[in-house]
């Protein structure tokens, strides 16, 4: 029987030889290909979105890592600085005088416009220099001072000179003032250390993330101190000790549901209970950390239980067999073996907590605070809420600073996740 290769007399209609692809079969394969292509298109779409997201943030954010400065030769005039209280000297006048040296023929009304090039941080910088080195009084000193936001934008080409004058933030004469400084060679754009050494400010050129970084640190520390022991305790109990009954089922359902409760609801809880009923301080990282801890705990419990489950029963039986108590087995053998998995889950949970914003907004961690918190009960912002504040600010300079803050946040998240992956790959044991 060789009728397999000829189409006549096949076993059934449409069935021909196994190597001759008929029309129907080709159609079926085309259908399959279409499915495949759709799948690849879906992945490509997701990849494109991720790429656009990262690219737009990096391309708008990298400019915030520099800040336009002017190198001014300033005469520190003794008569403008009260001897008994040098901090209250009229440094603004000195800086302005140094700047106006470049415009000897400027009229009075022009002078006001020219001095607006200077950031209000310029005088502060001179003051700090003088306060740290009083010998400067009465001498000439060279200081690198920041320029105000619009001119910073101009220098970074973020302000389009070709736009009609009435749609620009700087008119032609203002641009001309700045160009003169550029010609004089005193404009530079060094790395913007302010971004990490200063706290928030209304002026983009003076605003930094220090307060937010420290606030996030306190909040995460509190979150870890609460959620880690509570989460592990609960997980061990449920996994190793609890009897399968109504109560443990109820707890389990509870934990699974808590993990899926919208984060803003935890904010409402914190607002009503921690702030409203217990009278805890508003905007404090302590409260933020407690709220985040409640949200992180289910994650830690779930990953801890998975890690405990992965420890083979033979280890438990071996230890029980030599007469160890249940507690000794769990704390002496099972828990240490499960630790890498638990730590991995905890770090991933903390990374989620670091990016969490909504509950912190409700407890007031979006306040405008110009100094870094000294303790977890001081008012502070956190990294994500700082991003929210800056994204909401109208000044142009905050656009790139928001992106820069996002880059900082993402860097931390990547670092934490990398640590988690490293821990997993380094210590993971397959049984």
Considering only residues 13 to 32 of the shown chain, the ones binding another protein according to CB under 8 A are: 13-15, 17-19, 21, 24-25, 28-29, 31-32
Site for another protein in 390-419 (CB under 8 A): 391-392, 399, 402-403, 406, 409-410, 413, 417
Q: Which residues contact 73 (CB under 8 A, 6 or more apart)?
A: 98, 101, 140, 141, 142
Nearest Cα to Cα of residue 391 among 409, 373, 378: 409
By CB under 8 A, residue 260 contacts another protein: yes
CB 67 within 8 A of CB 82: no
Report in angstroms how near the CB of residue 254 gets to another protein at its nearest.
5
Number of residues in the chain? 431
- 169 contacts another protein (rule: CB under 8 A): no
CA distances from 141 to 17, 104, 182, 384 (A): 94, 20, 20, 40
230 is an interface residue for another protein by CB under 8 A: yes
Q: What are phi and psi of 170, to 5 degrees?
A: -125, 135
The residue from 139, 197, 254, 370 that contacts another protein (CB under 8 A) is 254
Among 184, 261, 374, 415, binds another protein (CB under 8 A): 261
User: CB neighbours (10 Å) of residue 159?
Assistant: 17
Two tokens, residue 316:
């438990």
Contacts of 397 (CB under 8 A, 6+ apart): 64, 149, 152, 153, 203, 204, 205
Q: How far is the CB of 56 from another protein (least distance, A)?
A: 5
Task: Please identify which residue in 80, 124, 361, 419 interacts with another protein, judged by CB under 8 A.
Answer: 361
**Residue from 241, 368, 422, 427 that binds another protein (CB under 8 A)?**
241
Site string for another protein, 36-75 (x = CB under 8 A): x-xxxxxx-xxx-xx-xx--xx--x---------------
Residues 6+ apart with CB under 8 A from 105: none
- Out of 224, 366, 378, 408, point to the residue binding another protein (CB under 8 A): 366
> Total binding residues for another protein by CB under 8 A?
109
Minimum CB distance to another protein smaller for 9 or for 164: 9
Beta-carbon contacts of residue 323 (< 8 Å; ≥ 6 apart): none
Contact between 225 and another protein by CB under 8 A: the answer reads no
Nearer to another protein, 60 or 141 (CB): 60
Q: Does 329 bind another protein (CB under 8 A)?
A: no
Q: What does 20-47 look like in DSSP terms, one character per residue?
A: S--HHHHHHHHHHHHHHHHHHHHHHHHH
CA dihedral 118, 119, 121, 126 (to 10 degrees): -10
Q: Measured between alpha carbons, how far is 292 from 226 in angstroms, rounded to an integer?
A: 9
Residue from 309, 327, 374, 428 that binds another protein (CB under 8 A)? 327
* Residues in 372-391 at the binding interface with another protein, rule: CB under 8 A: 384-385, 387-388, 391
Q: Which CB atom, from 149 or from 356, has the smaller least distance to another protein?
A: 356
Q: Which residues contact 129 (CB under 8 A, 6 or more apart)?
A: 136, 141, 143
Q: CB neighbours (10 Å) of residue 278?
A: 10
* Cβ neighbour number for residue 167 with a 10 Å cutoff: 7
Stretch that binds another protein, among 83-91, 100-108, 185-193, 261-269 (CB under 8 A): 261-269
Q: Does 186 bind another protein (CB under 8 A)?
A: no
Check residue 93 for interaction with another protein (CB under 8 A). no
**In whole angstroms, how close is the CB of 396 to another protein at the nearest point?**
13
Q: How far is the CB of 164 from another protein (least distance, A)?
A: 19
User: For another protein, which stretch binds (CB under 8 A), given 80-88, 197-205, 273-281, 313-321?
Assistant: 273-281
- Residue 131: count other Cβ atoms within 10 Å of its Cβ: 13
Closest distance to another protein from the beta carbon of 271 (Å): 6
Q: Which is nearer to another protein, 111 or 156 (CB)?
A: 156
Among 124, 175, 186, 273, binds another protein (CB under 8 A): 273
DSSP 279: -
Q: Which of 117, 145, 236, 347 binds another protein (CB under 8 A)?
A: 236
6/388 Cα distance (integer angstroms): 72
Window 276 to 315, contacts with another protein (CB under 8 A): 276, 278-279, 294, 297-298, 301
Two tokens, residue 424: 């997993």
């Amino acid at each position: 029987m060789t009728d397999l290769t000829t189409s006549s007399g096949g076993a059934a209609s449409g069935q021909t030889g196994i190597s001759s692809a008929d029309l129907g079969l080709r159609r079926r394969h085309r259908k399959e290909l279409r499915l495949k292509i759709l799948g690849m298109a879906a992945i490509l779409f997701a990849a494109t979105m991720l790429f656009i997201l990262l690219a737009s943030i990096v391309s708008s954010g990298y400019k915030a890592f520099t800040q336009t400065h002017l190198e001014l030769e300033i005469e520190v005039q003794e008569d403008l600085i009260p001897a008994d209280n040098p901090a209250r000297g009229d440094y603004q006048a000195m800086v302005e005088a140094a700047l106006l040296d470049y415009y000897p023929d400027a009229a009075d009304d022009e002078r006001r416009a020219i001095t607006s090039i200077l950031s209000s941080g310029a005088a502060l910088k001179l003051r700090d220099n003088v306060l740290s080195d009083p010998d400067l009084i009465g001498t000439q000193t060279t200081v690198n001072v920041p320029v105000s936001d619009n001119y910073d934008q101009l220098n970074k080409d973020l302000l389009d000179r070709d736009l009609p004058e009435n749609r620009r933030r700087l008119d032609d004469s203002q641009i001309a003032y700045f160009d003169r400084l550029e010609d004089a060679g005193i404009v530079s754009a060094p790395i913007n250390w302010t971004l990490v050494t200063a706290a928030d400010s209304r002026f983009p050129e003076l605003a930094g993330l220090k307060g937010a970084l420290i606030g996030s640190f306190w909040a995460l520390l509190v979150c870890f101190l609460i959620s880690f022991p509570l989460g592990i305790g609960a997980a061990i109990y449920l996994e190793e000790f609890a009897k399968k009954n109504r109560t443990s089922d109820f707890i389990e359902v509870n934990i699974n549901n808590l993990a899926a409760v919208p984060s803003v609801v935890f904010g409402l809880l914190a607002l009503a209970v921690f702030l409203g009923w217990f009278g805890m301080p508003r905007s404090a990282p302590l409260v933020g950390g407690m709220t985040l801890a409640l949200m992180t705990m289910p994650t830690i419990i779930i990953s801890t239980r998975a890690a405990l489950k992965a420890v083979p029963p033979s280890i438990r039986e071996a230890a029980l067999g030599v007469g160890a108590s249940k507690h000794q087995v769990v704390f002496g053998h099972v828990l240490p073996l499960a630790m890498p998995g638990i730590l991995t889950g905890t770090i991933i949970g903390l990374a989620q907590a670091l990016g969490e914003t909504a509950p912190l907004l409700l407890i007031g961690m979006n306040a405008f605070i110009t100094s870094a918190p000294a303790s977890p009960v001081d008012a502070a912002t956190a990294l994500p809420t700082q991003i929210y504040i800056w994204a909401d600010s109208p000044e142009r300079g905050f656009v790139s600073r928001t992106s820069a803050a996002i880059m900082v946040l993402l860097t931390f998240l990547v670092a934490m996740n990398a640590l988690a992956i490293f821990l997993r790959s380094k210590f993971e044991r397959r049984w």
